[in-house]
Amino acid sequence: MNFLQPKNKRAALKVQKLIALAVLLIVMATQANAQYSSYKLTTSGDTVNALSKSGLKEGKWIIHVDELRGEPGYEEEGVFVKGIKEGVWRRYTLQGDLLAMENYKRGGKDGAQQYFTFLGELMREESWKGYDPDSPYDTIAVYGAGSNEIIEFKIVKAEQYSVKQGEWKYYDPSTGNLVRSEEWERNVLKKPVKANVAAVDPSIKKAPEKTPEMLEWEKKNRGKKNAIRDGRTGL
């Protein structure tokens, strides 16, 4: 007796559909991975860490870096397109705690970036602008040895680049308060650093708040020369 034989036609059709679906998934996975020279499969069957036939990283990657010379290890995950980072990348401690969320455009940082302590507290937000090359190639001059004479020109592949652009914010991880901020424009600091000095150095005390009497005295003597307070609070 065949114990695997379905009891009725409806059950038989269901089994056939499941088998057909399984075969289809296997065929699709095989076709999808045929374009790669190597790849790995996660426990859930997802393809990661794939290399194209030309040796370029493609698709989702999980990169593991061990601790080295006192520097803590980490893991990062994101997507490669033709060997360069693209979109959102996340970095974690080896214990799985989030360390950074970065945005990439054609291999360069672009947009908002966030960085966290090992306890998951936000400590810095950066703003970058990614630029695509105006031309796929650049022409550079080659100078002679010991002279300023140009002896030839070379054509080299242009690279994507990123610049600091926008507001950068720094936080006190223990309180979440903004400590200072900077305004950047194409790698140039446009505005002076704005800092909460008490947050940077607790030993620096804020100026005491003025009493109503002090404010009243300043109001009455505003513009007067040689106005001296004698310490009395009365009028």
The per-residue pLDDT for range 166-224, each reduced to its tens digit, is 999 999 999 999 999 999 988 888 876 766 544 544 444 444 566 677 777 666 766 55
Percent helix, strand and coil across the chain, each to the nearest 5: 15, 45, 40
The values of phi and psi at residue 222, to 5°, are -65, 125
Asked if residue 20 is part of any domain, the answer here is no
Does residue 166 or residue 3 have the better pLDDT? 166
Asked if residue 225 is part of any domain, the answer here is no
The position carrying tokens 């030993």 is 203
Asked if residue 125 is part of any domain, the answer here is yes
Instruction: Report whether pLDDT(129) > 80.
Output: yes
Asked if residue 154 is part of any domain, the answer here is no
Q: What is the pTM of this model?
A: 0.61
Asked if residue 15 is part of any domain, the answer here is no
- Give, as one character, the DSSP assignment of residue 74: E
The values of phi and psi at residue 224, to 5°, are -85, 140
Asked if residue 199 is part of any domain, the answer here is yes
User: What confidence category does residue 102 fall into, taking pLDDT thresholds of 50, 70 and 90?
Assistant: very high
Asked if residue 190 is part of any domain, the answer here is yes
Asked if residue 229 is part of any domain, the answer here is no
Rounded mean pLDDT, 69-81: 95
- For residue 116, the enclosing domain spans 35-131+168-220
Number of structural domains in the chain: 1
